[in-house]
Structure 1
Amino acid sequence: MPELCYMCDKPGVTVEHVPPKCLFPEQKDAGINLRSNLITVPSCEEHNCKKSDDDEFLMVSIAGIIGNNSIGYEHYNGKIQRALKRTSYRLLEKVFLKKQFTRIGDENKFIDVLWGTPDYKRLIDCFTHIAHGIHRHHFKVNFEGTTKALLGFLHTNVPNPKVFKAFIKEKAALELADKTKHGDNPSVFYYQYTEPDQFGIFLVKLCFYQNVDVYISYMPSTAEKPFHLGFELIRSGMETVVTLGDKEFRFNSKSDSKNP
């Protein structure tokens, strides 16, 4: 009898790569084997075969981000360019809800940068599936509860979300400082888990191409509902300063409200 799917109670009749195999460059593009010992989990057909389009969407969304390592760059200029040309660049319409090109440099030496508004909901769905798969692989059991994702690689100028993202990144950095980085191909992907907090909530950091950071919090169904006075004050709209180590994070700042 097959094991259960990593996402549901159906039989795991197929094998799912987490993260998707397409995120790992082929040897002909990277020059080295980056597809050794990839993480796999049992999956039903619904949660594997029917999400191939999502896998390709995720690959195009994150491999070409400015700041990625050379592996991401080679992957973007290899397999991803082939995928874009195969679809006559229609694949970009699925990645960006709004997009535009900006040319950086002069007429002799330049780079065209594509930027815009990504399909945020679809990205969240992709990373949520990966988080469930990594949990199954790491702890050998399916996760039961709720998850929440924070995409550290996306940028916003909205004050509170911007400060909250900085707070989570700093908190994760402190808690993960001595934690093992798991994954046999860390130049493409690795993950780290924090210890559960006093409420039973814990976090995983997913890192792709050494620049794309995603933080997923897990709240098990058995966990206690968390309470943090500072964040209750933030939700009420009060100006609040949260201290973490030697850093301060200011929410609902009156100075921000004065800006146009």
Structure 2
Amino acid sequence: MTNTCYMCSKPATSREHAPPRCLFPALKYSLNGKDQRVNMIVVLACDEHNGDKSADDQYLMHILPMSFGLNEVADHYFQTKVQESISSNIRLTKSLAGSAVQVKVHDLAKDEWTQTLAFKVDTERLMGVLEMNARAIYFHHHKSKLTTKLSSRANFTLLENSLRLNDLLNQVMSVGEKMLDEVGAERHGANPDVFFYRIARVGNLELLEFTFYGTSRILFDIDHNVVQQV
């Protein structure tokens, strides 16, 4: 078990950063000269679950820092490294430009609506790579593999033409955050301006929450009653 991949039973051949290293600004692109690539989380991985997903990691880097209402670290990273990378990817540039639409975003905490731009993204691909990182973080945190089913939701994804369902999604996210607050779930991660996580289990339900760049959150529900082969 100790020498096998965090995702499968294959022998580990390398170490995988979780979350991907590319989400953390290198010193060249960091805000105020602060190194955000220190004490990063790594797990054992096989070739299939490390090198083969590098393109998905890059996709995550392009999408996450452009979300609405992020911190200064994300804004600076997007204006420098991310825009530089996007501009060199003609296919991605055309895809984002062609899918831009005006949307209204509801801040539940302030009960305020804001008009902004949204881009259509490959949600399946986006959530797929995030769920792989959830299994990596679980492996790092518990020193055991996650072999149960998990579901996920994010506060930076919107359903087109459905304000009610988007509000409902945000409410579910808020409930999860409050549950983690109530049980005193600690923040983990040496670079919290970029990423930190919280995790807690009550009975057979476990919640794992990722926070990127201050405000972008992904909540994973882990049902330990349901076992699946990974």
Asked whether the 8 Å contact 1:99–1:114 carries over to 2, the reply is no
Separation in 2 of the partners of 1:63 and 1:92? 15
Counterpart position of 1:171: 175
Scaled by the length of structure 2, the TM-score of the pair is 0.83
Counterpart position of 2:201: 195
Query: Which of these residues, 57, 60, 71, is aligned with residue 58 of structure 1?
Result: 60
Separation in 2 of the partners of 1:114 and 1:160? 19
Counterpart position of 1:215: 219
Asked whether the 8 Å contact 1:135–1:142 carries over to 2, the reply is yes
Query: Which of these residues, 104, 129, 132, is aligned with residue 132 of structure 2?
Result: 129
Indicate how the Cα distance of structure 1 residues 179 and 64 shifts in structure 2: closer, same or farther if over 3 A, else same: same
Counterpart position of 2:110: none
Gaps (5+ residues) in structure 1?
Answer: 103-112, 224-260
Residue 66 of structure 1 deviates from its aligned partner by 2.3
**1:143 correspondence with 2:149:** no
Indicate how the Cα distance of structure 1 residues 71 and 142 shifts in structure 2: closer, same or farther if over 3 A, else same: same
Asked whether the 8 Å contact 2:22–2:58 carries over to 1, the reply is yes
Residue 192 of structure 1 deviates from its aligned partner by 0.4
Q: Secondary structure at the match of 2:52?
A: helix
- Which amino acid in the other structure matches residue 180 of structure 1? E
Q: What does 1:147-166 align with in structure 2 at a 5 Å threshold? A: 147-156=150-159, 157-158=161-162, 161-166=165-170
Structure number with the bigger relative contact order (C-alpha 8 A, sep ≥ 6) is 2
Counterpart position of 1:48: 50
Separation in 1 of the partners of 2:162 and 2:36? 38
Asked whether the 8 Å contact 2:150–2:220 carries over to 1, the reply is yes
Aligned length: 209
Q: Secondary structure at the match of 2:175?
A: helix
Indicate how the Cα distance of structure 1 residues 84 and 159 shifts in structure 2: closer, same or farther if over 3 A, else same: closer
Q: What does 1:212-251 align with in structure 2 at a 5 Å threshold? A: 212-220=216-224
Residue 148 of structure 1 deviates from its aligned partner by 0.8
Counterpart position of 2:13: 13
Residue 93 of structure 1 deviates from its aligned partner by 5.1
- Which amino acid in the other structure matches residue 12 of structure 2? G
Query: Which of these residues, 181, 186, 190, is aligned with residue 184 of structure 1?
Result: 190
Indicate how the Cα distance of structure 1 residues 123 and 42 shifts in structure 2: closer, same or farther if over 3 A, else same: same
Asked whether the 8 Å contact 1:18–1:40 carries over to 2, the reply is yes
Which structure's residues are more often helix, by fraction?
A: 2
Superposition RMSD in Å: 2.3
Asked whether the 8 Å contact 2:152–2:219 carries over to 1, the reply is yes
Asked whether the 8 Å contact 2:87–2:93 carries over to 1, the reply is no
> How many percent identity over aligned positions?
28
Gaps (5+ residues) in structure 2?
Answer: 103-115
Q: Deviations over 1:23-62 (max 9, x none)?
A: 0001111121100000000000001001110001000011
**Which one has a bigger Cα radius of gyration?**
1
Residue 114 of structure 1 deviates from its aligned partner by 5.3
Residue 172 of structure 1 deviates from its aligned partner by 1.6
Counterpart position of 2:112: none
Indicate how the Cα distance of structure 1 residues 169 and 52 shifts in structure 2: closer, same or farther if over 3 A, else same: same
- Runs of 4+ that moved beyond 3 A: none
Q: Deviations over 1:71-90 (max 9, x none)?
A: 11111112112212332x32
Counterpart position of 1:85: 87
Q: What does 1:30-41 align with in structure 2 at a 5 Å threshold? A: 30=30, 31-41=33-43
Separation in 2 of the partners of 1:159 and 1:82? 33
